[in-house]
Structures are given as structure tokens and as C-alpha cells.
């Protein structure tokens, strides 16, 4: 990578080595005039996380009231009760604004002094009852802190009751910028950094993933922006519960705050997006919030490190009351066009960033784990785009004809073998695998009737666990899917993790689960066969020419990767806490070519799964 500003080169070297950027690095990035070089750095990092994907969601913003007890200097939205323009919505008013295609309901608003706690719960319960397929993302940390103080409940109890009512995730609003200096001048009635972070940590402990934000472009310094990012990064190291980071460009409106310019410049916006992507090395997503950036700047940001456009955002008022000049809503087709024009894949998602629909042709699925990096580190197939997608979701998208080729979970391949052709490559274990792990409080035979949490990603490992429990140990447990992001594991007797999450937990331990079982080793000791977790397959309709190009590209990438697994996996490995030696040992532990023993193992496993499913169905019939 070439730079016009030579001070960027050593920072890029640190990124390439998987080293964390410092405050001084961030200041260098902000001060550079080489905006194109900065953007290329951020775009390269973004592609490691998200490939060619840019996410959006069909969402509706609900601001249930603008009546608020606070009087923040920068807010043009909130008013006092009885003031002109004051409004308070009922649950039925809210329902009238929602339509069946909505996948996310985003709830934030004012904090009136006289609403009872039950009114907030009723809003969430009513939405969840009438739109069970829509995820409710509700209430900022400021609102949670308000509920805690007003209703004399602990923060944990507030969150538990909201979760029980139907809240799935939390928005990141109210963070503003983590500076006591700024807080005292602009929003001294609002919570500061420590309470905001503690609320989010509490949510993460309870299995509620959250977003995070930073309001910039008012009176904050560049150092304060970077310190804000670094505190978020530290919290993510601790909890892993943030889904995305959203830089929010300040809209001055008629607040009386006098920033150096009325609005942030496009250069400042793009720099902040890019620097966020580089500084926040443990955040999976960076959002270009078009409501505040404008459609035009958000579009460019998709090549400056952002991989999320938010969504249709119908009903947003807070930013527009403050003077945002973007449209009040964006149609789905317009979002898709913007993303395509940026050379990206438009990916419709749910609140956890699970892909629901891909609006593109010629897509190759990439398992976004360390275990598949040998295939993808050097993979390039002309005319095809790369979509990182976890195994179970890849199978679901393939079942709808949205994936042309990919490293499929072996069970997805077995179920779709009528429309998929097997290539001669995959991921097979030679004994242990270290990344398909059961963490348990009980021994195998004591898991009968117990509750096991299953990571959402798995399509094959969950079947392997069923087969081991039933066919090898003669027990039947109760399985429950976990959602994407952090989960509350306290009520489970065992937890099945795969991929990067399993590698991290295998190295560091999973508190409360003292027994650890490697399912590949369990299989090998039982069947004396390798276990095949994933296989490369293509649509039967793929042209012979494209199939040949893909096969050649896979072989070429494997050959290059095998010369130095530590270098190939360094950045990804360090992100999940592995040393170079551990990364190399892990990647060297796979068979990447499918020989006769691997094919025999696939046939044997498929037969055992069929037997187990038949036994389970018979058992269910008997019980009824």
C-alpha cells in the first residue's frame, strides 16, 4: 500500500502486524492530508471483517414522547410537559406506525416525570406480541439510568424486566463524548462515561448486545474523540457485547452551541469513520448513519471503513429537529442502489447482523472464522463478491438460492446435495480441532434431560453433539439456540461453541463450566475417522469455466497460505487472543483436501444423523 503521507506507513505496518493503535497514532491519522491513503487503510480492514457486504435493516424509529425532565443544551427535540408541540404516544399509537415487513423497532425518546414503569413495559410487550418477527431495540443507557433512579430498581432488574418483555438489543445513544469537560458544559444533567459504560456492561452480562455511539463536531477535541474510542475498545475487550460503533455528526440546529462550522465537513466525517475502523480493532461493524451524514457522504463512507447503512429509519425526529438535512426516511430500493453503486453487496439483516436476504448475484460465502482463512487470504475470483456468513446462516441463504459457492457446513451440503456439487476441499480434523467445544457442568452421562445452549452459528456441530449424546452415551438433552452476540449462560448446564468463540473460550476458560470436551476428538475416539465440518460446494448451475476458476483460486490460496500459517492468520489470531505459534498450530491441524477417509466420514455421519432423528421423532410420538 502506497501513501502520499509517509507518516501513515508505520501505522499501516502496525495494523498489518495485528498491533493495537495508540492515541498518538489516532492523532496522526486525524492530522493527515492523505485522505485517500487513510480511506484505503480503513477499507482494507473493513474487508477483513465484512468482505464485500454492506448491511441494512428495515426498521422504524419510535420516539414515544418528546416530554423530558432534562434540559440538555444540545437537544432541540425535548420539551416540557404542556409546552407547544409536546406529545405522548400510547402503545396503540405506536402500533399504528408499524408494518409487517419491519424487522427492527428502535425505541428512544424523552423521559417524562409522570409515566409509570408499566407503561414502558407495555410498549415493548405490545410490539413483541403483535410483531413477533420484529426485534425490539429499546432505550438508551440514559433512559435505563433514569428508570433505575425513578422506579428504585437496580439497573440489572430494569434490564431483566425489559428483556422479559421483549427487548432484544439496546441502542448506543446518550454516550455523547466521554469527556467530563464537555459533559459539564453541554449536558451536565446527563450521565457521564462511567454510568453509561456500566449500564452497557450490565446489559452484556445479561445477554443483551448493544450499539455504541460518539457525538462529534461540537466543542470536543480530537484527543477527546480518540479517548472515547479507546474506552469503548477497552469495554469491548472486557465484554464483547458491542455490535457496532456509530459516529454521530453533531447537528447544531438552534441549540446555541457554536462549533467552528455549522456542520461537520465531509472530510471530517470520512476521517472519523475511517479512524473508527482502524482504532476499534475489536468491533465487528462501523455504521455510516446516513440520517446525520447525508446520503452522499454515507455512500462514500462505504469505501472508508463503514459496512452498515443502518436502514430505512422511518419516523426519526431527534436529528431532524436539530437540523439534519437528510430525508426523513429512505426507501429500501434506494438503500440497495446506494450500496451497489459503492461496489458492495446489499445485505438485508436482522438486529444481530444475521443476513436475511442478499440483493446481489454471483456471491461466494465465506465462513468468518480463523479456520477458513487459508482459503480466503489470497482468494480472488473475478466477477464474484465475498460475503462473510456463519455456517448455519450460509445454509439458509443457499437454500433460497442466494449463495453461488461457499465453504458449507457439511450438514447443509448433505441436505442440499440435489442442487450443490462437491469440490474436493473442506475442513476436516485429524483428531482434536479446538474450535468445536462443549463446555459443561456435568459429565456426558449426567447431561440427560439437562439444558444445553447452542451457539446460533452451528448447523453441523449441533448434529454431532446430538449423535454423540444419543448414540454414544445414551442420553437426550434439551437444546436451546443462543442468539448472535453475547448471551446470559447462567441457566445452562452446558454450552456448545464453535469457531472463534470456541477458540477463545478453550484458551481462557468459560466461567462456571469446568468440563471441556472437544467434539472432534470424541468422534475420532468413537469412530476412528476424521470429522469433516465443512466442504466447498457450488451451485450445479455454475458454469464449468467459473467452477474451474474457483477451484484454481482455492488451490492457489491454500498453497500460498501453507508456506506460513502464522503470517496468514496473524491479524485474525491476535484479534481472538492467540499467539502466532498457536495460530499456526491450529491451522496446521486441518486437512484441507477431501480424500476417501473424509468422504467415508461424511457418509457415516449422515447415516448416524438420520438414525438419531428417526429415534427422536419416535420418542416424541410416544411422549404425546
Name the segment(s) of the chain with CATH classification 3.20.20.70. 52-350
Q: Does domain 436-530 have CATH number 3.40.190.10?
A: yes
pLDDT for the residue 71? 59
For residues 498 and 496, what is the distance between their CA atoms, to the nearest angstrom?
Answer: 7
Fold of 52-350: TIM Barrel (3.20.20)
Q: Is the pLDDT of residue 565 over 70?
A: yes
What the block records as the C-alpha cell of 72 is: 440538555
Q: Edge-to-edge strand order for the sheet containing 385-388?
A: 385-388, 363-366, 405-409, 532-539, 420-429, 590-593
Q: Is the pLDDT of residue 329 over 70?
A: no
Pairing of strands 355-358, 345-349: antiparallel
**Which H, E and C letters describe 442-488, residue by residue?**
CCHHHHCCCEEEECCCCCCHHHHHHHHHHHHCCCCCEEEECCCCCCC
Q: Is the pLDDT of residue 458 over 70?
A: yes
| Element (DSSP H or E) covering residue 537 | strand 532-539
Q: Is the pLDDT of residue 175 over 80?
A: yes
CA 429-389-611 angle, to 5 degrees, is 50
Q: pLDDT: is 1 or 284 the higher one?
A: 284
pLDDT for the residue 10? 98
Mean pLDDT of 16-28: 97
Burial status of residue 210 (CB atoms within 10 A of its CB: 0-12, 13-18, 19 or more) = buried
Name the segment(s) of the chain with CATH classification 3.40.190.10. 358-429+532-596, 436-530
Q: Which of 612, 553, 609 is nearest to 413 (CA)?
A: 609
What the block records as the C-alpha cell of 250 is: 453533531
Judge contact between 440 and 517, C-beta under 8 A.
yes
For residues 125 and 167, what is the distance between their CA atoms, to the nearest angstrom?
Answer: 9
Residue 395 CB partners (closer than 8 Å, separation 6+) = 408, 409, 411, 412, 415, 416, 459
- Count of other CB atoms within 10 angstroms of residue 151: 14
C-alpha distance from residue 443 to each of 97, 472, 493, 551, 584 (Å): 51, 13, 10, 43, 31
For residues 462 and 221, what is the distance between their CA atoms, to the nearest angstrom?
Answer: 50
For residues 480 and 536, what is the distance between their CA atoms, to the nearest angstrom?
Answer: 28
For residues 462 and 478, what is the distance between their CA atoms, to the nearest angstrom?
Answer: 12
pLDDT for the residue 72? 56
Judge contact between 204 and 241, C-beta under 8 A.
yes
Burial status of residue 620 (CB atoms within 10 A of its CB: 0-12, 13-18, 19 or more) = exposed
180 pLDDT band, cuts 50/70/90, is very high
**In the beta sheet, which residues pair with residue 248?**
215
What the block records as the C-alpha cell of 567 is: 503470517
pLDDT for the residue 78? 62
81 pLDDT band, cuts 50/70/90, is confident
**In the beta sheet, which residues pair with residue 436?**
498
pLDDT for the residue 327? 46
For residues 415 and 426, what is the distance between their CA atoms, to the nearest angstrom?
Answer: 17
620 pLDDT band, cuts 50/70/90, is low
In the block, cell 406506525 appears at 97
Average predicted confidence (pLDDT) for the chain: 92
For residues 357 and 54, what is the distance between their CA atoms, to the nearest angstrom?
Answer: 12
For residues 565 and 325, what is the distance between their CA atoms, to the nearest angstrom?
Answer: 49
Please state, for a pLDDT cut of 90, what percent of the chain lies above it.
Answer: 82
Mean pLDDT of 532-555: 97
Q: What is the pLDDT of residues 200-257, one digit of tens each?
A: 999 999 999 999 999 999 999 999 999 999 999 999 999 999 999 999 988 766 555 5
What the block records as the C-alpha cell of 610 is: 438420520
For residues 451 and 447, what is the distance between their CA atoms, to the nearest angstrom?
Answer: 8
Q: Is the pLDDT of residue 508 over 80?
A: yes
For residues 11 and 27, what is the distance between their CA atoms, to the nearest angstrom?
Answer: 11
| DSSP code per residue over 122-186 | HHHHHHHHH-TTSEEEE--HHHHHHHHHHTT--HHHHHHHHHHHTEEEB--TT---S-HHHHHHH
111 pLDDT band, cuts 50/70/90, is confident
| Element (DSSP H or E) covering residue 213 | strand 210-216
For residues 339 and 344, what is the distance between their CA atoms, to the nearest angstrom?
Answer: 6
- Count of other CB atoms within 10 angstroms of residue 180: 12
Residue 511 CB partners (closer than 8 Å, separation 6+) = none
Fold of 358-429+532-596: D-Maltodextrin-Binding Protein; domain 2 (3.40.190)
Q: Is the pLDDT of residue 393 over 80?
A: yes
Please state, for a pLDDT cut of 70, what percent of the chain lies above it.
Answer: 92
Q: Which of 615, 554, 271 is nearest to 423 (CA)?
A: 554
C-alpha distance from residue 473 to each of 5, 53, 440, 467, 530 (Å): 63, 42, 15, 9, 20
pLDDT for the residue 258? 56
408-438 burial string, b = 16+ CB within 10 Å, else e? bbbbbbbbeeeebebbebbbbbeebbbbbbb
Residue 543 CB partners (closer than 8 Å, separation 6+) = none
pLDDT for the residue 614? 87
pLDDT for the residue 513? 97
DSSP 255: S
Q: What is the pLDDT of residues 148-167, one digit of tens each?
A: 999 999 999 999 999 999 99
For residues 17 and 342, what is the distance between their CA atoms, to the nearest angstrom?
Answer: 28
For residues 574 and 577, what is the distance between their CA atoms, to the nearest angstrom?
Answer: 5
For residues 178 and 220, what is the distance between their CA atoms, to the nearest angstrom?
Answer: 10
Q: What is the pLDDT of residues 248-295, one digit of tens each?
A: 988 766 555 555 555 689 999 999 999 999 999 999 999 998 877 888
pLDDT for the residue 318? 41
pLDDT for the residue 262? 56
DSSP 362: S
Residue 593 CB partners (closer than 8 Å, separation 6+) = 424, 425
Judge contact between 288 and 43, C-beta under 8 A.
no
- Does this model's pTM top 0.85? yes
Amino acid at each position: 500500500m502506497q501513501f502520499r503521507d509517509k507518516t501513515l506507513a508505520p501505522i499501516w505496518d502496525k495494523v498489518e502486524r495485528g498491533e493495537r493503535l495508540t492515541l498518538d497514532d489516532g492523532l496522526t491519522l486525524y492530522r493527515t492530508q492523505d485522505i485517500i491513503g487513510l480511506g484505503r487503510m480503513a477499507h482494507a480492514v473493513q474487508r477483513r471483517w465484512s468482505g464485500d457486504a454492506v448491511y441494512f435493516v428495515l426498521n422504524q424509529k419510535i420516539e414515544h414522547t418528546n416530554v423530558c425532565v432534562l434540559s440538555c443544551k444540545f437537544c432541540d427535540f425535548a420539551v416540557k410537559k404542556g409546552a407547544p408541540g409536546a406529545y405522548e404516544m400510547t402503545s396503540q399509537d405506536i402500533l399504528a406506525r408499524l408494518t409487517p415487513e419491519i424487522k427492527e423497532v428502535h425505541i428512544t425518546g424523552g423521559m417524562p416525570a409522570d409515566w409509570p414503569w408499566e407503561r414502558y413495559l407495555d410498549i415493548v410487550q405490545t410490539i413483541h406480541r403483535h410483531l413477533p418477527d420484529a426485534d425490539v431495540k429499546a432505550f438508551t443507557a440514559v433512559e435505563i439510568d433514569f428508570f433505575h433512579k425513578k422506579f428504585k430498581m437496580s439497573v440489572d432488574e430494569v434490564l431483566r424486566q425489559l428483556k422479559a418483555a421483549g427487548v432484544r438489543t439496546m441502542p448506543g445513544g446518550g454516550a455523547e463524548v466521554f469527556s467530563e469537560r464537555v459533559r459539564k458544559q453541554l449536558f451536565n444533567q446527563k450521565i457521564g462515561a462511567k454510568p453509561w459504560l456500566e449500564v452497557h456492561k450490565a446489559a452484556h452480562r445479561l445477554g443483551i448486545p448493544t450499539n455504541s455511539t460518539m457525538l462529534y463536531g461540537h466543542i470536543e477535541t480530537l484527543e477527546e474523540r480518540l479517548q472515547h474510542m479507546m474506552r469503548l475498545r477497552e469495554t469491548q475487550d472486557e465484554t464483547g457485547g458491542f455490535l457496532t460503533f456509530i459516529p454521530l455528526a453533531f447537528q447544531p440546529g438552534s441549540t446555541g452551541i457554536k462549533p467552528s462550522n455549522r456542520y461537520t465537513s465531509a472530510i471530517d466525517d470520512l476521517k472519523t469513520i475511517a479512524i473508527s475502523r482502524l482504532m476499534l480493532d475489536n468491533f465487528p461493524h462501523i455504521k455510516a448513519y446516513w440520517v446525520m451524514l447525508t446520503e452522499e457522504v454515507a455512500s462514500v463512507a462505504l469505501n472508508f471503513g463503514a459496512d452498515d447503512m443502518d436502514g430505512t429509519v422511518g419516523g426519526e425526529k431527534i436529528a431532524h429537529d436539530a437540523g439534519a438535512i437528510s430525508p426523513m426516511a429512505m426507501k429500501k430500493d434506494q438503500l440497495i442502489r446506494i450500496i451497489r453503486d459503492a461496489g458492495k453487496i446489499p445485505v438485508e439483516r436482522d438486529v444481530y447482523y444475521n443476513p436475511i436476504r442478499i440483493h446481489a448475484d454471483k456471491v461466494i460465502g465465506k465462513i468468518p472464522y480463523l479456520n477458513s482463512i487459508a482459503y480466503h487470504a489470497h482468494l480472488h475470483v473475478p466477477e464474484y463478491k465475498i460475503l462473510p456468513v456463519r455456517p448455519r446462516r450460509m445454509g439458509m441463504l443457499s437454500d433460497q438460492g442466494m449463495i453461488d459457492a461457499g465453504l458449507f457446513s457439511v450438514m447443509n451440503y448433505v441436505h442440499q446435495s440435489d442442487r450443490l456439487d462437491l469440490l474436493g476441499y473442506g475442513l476436516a480434523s485429524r483428531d482434536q480441532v479446538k474450535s468445536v467445544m462443549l463446555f459443561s457442568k456435568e459429565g456426558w452421562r449426567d447431561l440427560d434431560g439437562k439444558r444445553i445452549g447452542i451457539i446460533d452459528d452451528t448447523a453441523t456441530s449441533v448434529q454431532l453433539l446430538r449423535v454423540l449424546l444419543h448414540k454414544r452415551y445414551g442420553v437426550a438433552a434439551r437444546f436451546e439456540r443462543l442468539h448472535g452476540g453475547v448471551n446470559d449462560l447462567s441457566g445452562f448446564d452446558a454450552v456448545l461453541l464453535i469457531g472463534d468463540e470456541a477458540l477463545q473460550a478453550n484458551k481462557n476458560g468459560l466461567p462456571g463450566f469446568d468440563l471441556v470436551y472437544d467434539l472432534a476428538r470424541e468422534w475420532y475416539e468413537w469412530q476412528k475417522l476424521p470429522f469433516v465440518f465443512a466442504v466447498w460446494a457450488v451451485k450445479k448451475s455454475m458454469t464449468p469455466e467459473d467452477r474451474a476458476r474457483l477451484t484454481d483460486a482455492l488451490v492457489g490460496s491454500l498453497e500460498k497460505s501453507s508456506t506460513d500459517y502464522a503470517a496468514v492468520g496473524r491479524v485474525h489470531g491476535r484479534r481472538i487472543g492467540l499467539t502466532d505459534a498457536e495460530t499456526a498450530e491450529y491451522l496446521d491441524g486441518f486437512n484441507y483436501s477431501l480424500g476417501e477417509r473424509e468422504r467415508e466420514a461424511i457418509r457415516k455421519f449422515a447415516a448416524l444423523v438420520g438414525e438419531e432423528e428417526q429415534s427422536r421423532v419416535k420418542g416424541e410420538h410416544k411422549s404425546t
